[in-house]
Amino acid sequence: MALLEVDNVHAYYGNIHALNGVSISVEEGEIVSLIGGNGAGKTTTLRSISGLLVPREGSIIFEGEDISGYKAHELVSKGIAMVPEGRGVFAKLTVLENLEMGAYHRKDKDGIAEDLREMYDLFPRLEERKSQVAGTLSGGEQQMLATARALMSRPKLLLMDEPSMGLAPVLVEAIFDTCTSINLAGTTILLVEQNAHMALQIANRGYVLQTGEIVLQDTADNLQQNEMVQKAYLGID
Ligand code: ATP
Question: What is the DSSP secondary-structure string of the chain?
Answer: --SEEEEEEEEEETTEEEEEEEEEEE-TT-EEEEE--TTSSHHHHHHHHTTSS--SEEEEEETTEE-TT--HHHHHHHTEEEE-TT----TTSBHHHHHHHHTTT---HHHHHHHHHHHHHH-HHHHHTTTSBGGGS-HHHHHHHHHHHHHTT--SEEEEE-TTTT--HHHHHHHHHHHHHHHHTT-EEEEEES-HHHHHHH-SEEEEEETTEEEEEEEHHHHHH-HHHHHHHS---
If you average pLDDT over residues 21-29, what whole number do you get?
98
Q: How confident is the model at residue 102 (pLDDT cuts 50, 70, 90)?
A: very high
Supply angle C-alpha 76, 183, 170, rounded to 5.
105
pLDDT of residue 51: 93
pTM (2 decimals)?
0.93
Task: Establish whether residue 84 lines the binding site of ligand 1, counting it when its CB lies within 6 angstroms of any ligand atom.
Answer: no
Q: Is the pLDDT of residue 71 over 80?
A: yes
| Nearest Cα residue to atom 27 of ligand 1 | 13
Chain segment 217-228, per-residue pLDDT in tens: 999 999 999 999
Best mutation site among 10, 15, 16, 50 for ligand 1 pocket (most ligand atoms within 8 Å of CB): 16
Chain segment 33-54, per-residue pLDDT in tens: 999 998 999 999 999 999 999 9
Task: Establish whether residue 36 lines the binding site of ligand 1, counting it when its CB lies within 6 angstroms of any ligand atom.
Answer: yes
Task: Classify burial at 160, counting beta carbons within 10 Å of its beta carbon; exposed 0-12, middle 13-18, buried 19 or more.
Answer: buried
Residue-averaged pLDDT of the chain:
93
Q: What percent of the chain has pLDDT over 90?
A: 77
Supply angle C-alpha 181, 95, 203, rounded to 5.
20
Chain segment 140-199, per-residue pLDDT in tens: 899 999 999 999 999 999 999 998 888 888 888 888 888 998 999 899 999 999 889 999
Q: Is the pLDDT of residue 237 over 80?
A: no
Best mutation site among 9, 13, 191 for ligand 1 pocket (most ligand atoms within 8 Å of CB): 13
pLDDT of residue 69: 85
pLDDT of residue 105: 86
pLDDT of residue 26: 98
pLDDT of residue 172: 87
pLDDT of residue 194: 87
Centre of ligand 1 from the C-alpha of residue 129, in Å: 34
pLDDT of residue 19: 97
Q: How confident is the model at residue 80 (pLDDT cuts 50, 70, 90)?
A: very high
Separation CA 129–CA 98 (nearest Å): 12
The CA-to-CA distance between both ends of the chain, in Å, stands at 39
